[in-house]
Amino acid sequence: MTEQSSIARAFNDRPTPITAASVQQKPSGMPFERYVPFGTIDLPDRTWPSKMITQAPRWLSTDLRDGNQALIDPMSPARKRKMFDLLVRLGYKEIEVGFPSSGATDFEFVRSLINEGAIPEDVTISVLTQAREDLIERTVESLVGAPRATVHLYNATSPLFRRVVFKGSKDDIKGIAVDGTRLVMEYAEKILRDDTVFGYEYSPEIFIDTELDFALEVCEAVMDVWQPGEGREIILNLPTTVERSTPNVYADKIEWMSRNLSRREFIALSTHPHNDRGTGVASAELAIMAGADRVEGCLFGQGERTGNLDLVNVGMNLFSQGVDPMIDFSDIDEIRRTYEYCNQMVVPERHPYAGDLVYTSFSGSHQDAIKKGFDALEADAAAAGVPVGEYTWGVPYLPIDPKDVGRSYEAVIRVNSQSGKGGIAYVLKNDHKLDLPRRMQIEFSRIIQAKTDAEGGEVTPADIWAVFQDEYLPTKDNPWGRIALSGSRSLTTEDGRDALSTEAVVDGVPVTLTGTGNGPVSAFGDALARIGVDVRVLDYAEHALSEGGDAQAAAYVECAVDGKVLWGVGIDGNTVLASLKAMVSAVNRAQRG
């Protein structure tokens, strides 16, 4: 019988292994029966699941409207302006700048953008209004002199809102949308001069909970008034408002609308997800796959309740798939700082692409793979003759190169009790160009592990370097060890054997060490043997630390010293001296106690 099958037999004699039936979860006692499931859409020939997003959608930032309306302390004019300027710099071409009929702050802000010429010619500002005549008039008034402007009109269309908020029939609700659209057109005609390129957006608010055929009916009625056609687009925006279904159901609804809307080629079909179920980004992405041309959201998902769709997240998701988001996220921390200043909100540490910790690994297996990934990337790029920064990205656990969003590699690996040799080796390589041989990585990681086990918490790169120096590299400031090389040395070769003579200090006493061997390392071993140190070199590695005339080299030797196996390190401009120093390092460590 083989050893394996006896293990298998022994295992089979144990009590029954874990099965689904043996994992007994208990009823929560929470009143889940009060909630109604969102159901599904009958669309068996749906096409979106096999679509890929191959180009950026049109983006609309609603930071200054939906984002702003959800703040405890809405943005001051100065903060709004800072946000507007950031959005323009990033490349957003459609920016919802407020709800001018809400009061003087928003109205005056829109006026200031226009009067101060802050709106680039290729940027369209948008303003939101309810479908009420006085509000529409005021809204249109705010736009006088704008180069390009869209009025965005909304009214809720779902059964709950029809019954509870508007207390009206379907026809009443459709009437609000139709009358509102007509009023927007009339006031635009009356108030705006011809120098404003004017657009219109309509949102059946709470689209997600509206019967599809009714949403379609309302949108068609609105279009009958606006009359979209060649050179006369309408934006139909289908919001989740309150995210209440899985993204696939929302995608089905978008595909259904996209298929059934008339005059489709003149419609910019727009998605406006919120994030109540935590799937706003997925809703937007699936909506694009399902036919949405345009995406509305806010930077870092600011917005009502759990927030609007996170524009940075969707844009960077595209980037990470090789699609140009058409928005410049290359300085993500600058975007984050401005966001935090304007909104007085904080981007959490784990926020996709922008959080402090999102490019950082603490755990050993992740760090090991990342280090190997960087090594392979460098080698592959060099072999292809391409700068690393231009080579196809592929580093485990890092979906994008942190440098592409302006981050450094410093925080990629941070060391604590969950870390292994790979992470520690990465820090030494990244910060000090020391490329430790594998067995030495294991030895040194045990030393760091002992520190983290004893002290807990994180070990910073500076801590790691201090421990490394203390362990392997005695310095003038920390001159521990029995033996130190000093003064001059000579190396001569006679009959194929090397004779080495070197000045040293042993136990505080200056001496001359001499020995012979078939190479300087073996000659130095002989010299050490003559003062009673039994040292045998088991492994040896060296590499350059820098380039040029004053280049430094690092040597690593694995030695058996008086029966103890351990590593030593030497750094010097001369490779022979670096290797002798490495042997001294190993001997001193062995005798350090």
Ligand X SMILES: CC(=O)SCCNC(=O)CCNC(=O)[C@H](O)C(C)(C)COP(=O)(O)OP(=O)(O)OC[C@H]1O[C@@H](n2cnc3c(N)ncnc32)[C@H](O)[C@@H]1OP(=O)(O)O
Part of the chain binding ligand KIV (CB under 6 A), chosen from 9-17, 236-244, 407-415, 434-442: 236-244
Residue 272 contact, options ligand KIV, ligand X, none, Cβ 5-8 Å cut-off depending on partner type = ligand KIV
Shorter beta-carbon distance to ligand X: residue 69 or 452: 69
Task: State the Cα–Cα distance between residues 118 and 121, nearest whole angstrom.
Answer: 9
Residue 107 exposure: Cα atoms within 13 Å on the Cβ side: 12
Beta strand 483-494 pairing with 497-506: antiparallel
Nearest residue (CB) to ligand KIV, 274 versus 489: 274
411/415 Cα distance (integer angstroms): 10
Nearest CA to 83 among 67, 100, 99? 67
- Pick from 81, 111, 174, 272 the residue near ligand KIV by CB under 6 A: 272
- Quick one: tokens of 75? 């943005």
Nearer to ligand KIV, 69 or 365 (CB): 69
Which range of residues in 22-30, 130-138, 257-265, 403-411 is near ligand X by CB under 6 A? 130-138
Q: Find the binding residues for ligand X in span 62-81 (CB under 6 A).
A: 66, 69
Using CB under 6 A as the binding rule, whether residue 579 contacts ligand X is answered as: no
CA dist 502 to 196, 505, 528, Å? 87, 10, 11
How far CA 496 is from CA of 525, 529, 576, in Å, comes to 17, 21, 17
Joined together, the tokens standing for residue 257 give 């609308």
Scanning 290-363, the segments in alpha helix (DSSP H) are 311-319, 332-343
3-state secondary structure of 383: helix
- Stretch of 82-90, 237-245, 433-441, 569-577 lying at the interface with ligand KIV (CB under 6 A): 237-245
Site string for ligand KIV, 113-132 (x = CB under 6 A): ---------------x----
Q: Is 362 near ligand X (CB under 6 A)?
A: no
Contact 503, 489 (CB under 8 A): yes
* Number of residues engaging ligand X in binding (CB under 6 A): 17
Residue type, 194: D
Task: Please tell me the chain's helix, strand, coil percentages from 3-state DSSP, rounded to the nearest 5.
Answer: 45, 20, 35
Nearer to ligand KIV, 155 or 585 (CB): 155
**Residue from 66, 285, 401, 443 binding ligand KIV (CB under 6 A):** 66
The distance from CA 178 to its chain's CA centroid, rounded to whole angstroms, is 43
Binding piece for ligand X, criterion CB under 6 A, among 95-103, 139-147, 442-450, 462-470: 95-103
Q: Does 157 bind ligand KIV (CB under 6 A)?
A: no
Does the annotation place 134 within a ligand binding site?
no
Nearest CB to ligand X, comparing residues 133 and 224: 133
138 near ligand KIV, rule: CB under 6 A = no
205 contacts ligand X (rule: CB under 6 A): yes
Say whether residue 105 binds ligand X (CB under 6 A).
no
CB of 225 to ligand X, least distance (A): 15
182 binds ligand X (CB under 6 A): no
Residue nearest to ligand X (CB): 102
Interface stretch with ligand X, choices 44-52, 96-104, 483-491, 541-549 (CB under 6 A): 96-104
Find which of ligand X, ligand KIV, none residue 237 binds, CB within 5 to 8 Å per kind: ligand KIV
Choosing from 124, 126, 139, 203, the residue that interacts with ligand KIV (CB under 6 A) is: 203
CB 89 within 8 A of CB 328: yes
When CB distances are held under 5 to 8 angstroms depending on the partner's kind, the choice from ligand X, ligand KIV, none that residue 203 binds is ligand KIV
Q: Has 272 been labeled as part of a binding site? A: yes
241 binds ligand KIV (CB under 6 A): yes
Q: Rounded to whole angstroms, how far apart are CA atoms 155 and 129?
A: 9
Of 59, 92, 154, 202, the residue at the interface with ligand X (CB under 6 A) is 154
Helix, strand or coil for residue 134? Answer: helix
Q: What is the 3-state secondary structure (H, E, C) of 439-471?
A: HHHHHHHHHHHHHHHHHCCCECHHHHHHHHHHH
Which does residue 99 touch among ligand X, ligand KIV, none (CB within 5 to 8 A, set by kind)?
ligand X
Beta-bridged to residue 556, according to DSSP, are: 541, 569
| Residue among 379, 374, 378, 339 nearest 355 (CA) | 339
- Nearest Cα residue to 152 out of 96, 76, 222, 68: 96
Among 48, 59, 92, 99, binds ligand X (CB under 6 A): 99
Residue 34, exposed/middle/buried by CB under 10 A (0-12, 13-18, 19+)?
Answer: exposed
Residues that bind ligand X (CB under 6 A): 66, 69, 99, 101-102, 128, 130-132, 135, 154-155, 165-166, 176, 205, 241
Residues that bind ligand KIV (CB under 6 A): 66, 128, 154, 203, 205, 237, 239, 241, 272, 274
Annotated binding site for Mg(2+): 66, 272, 274, 308
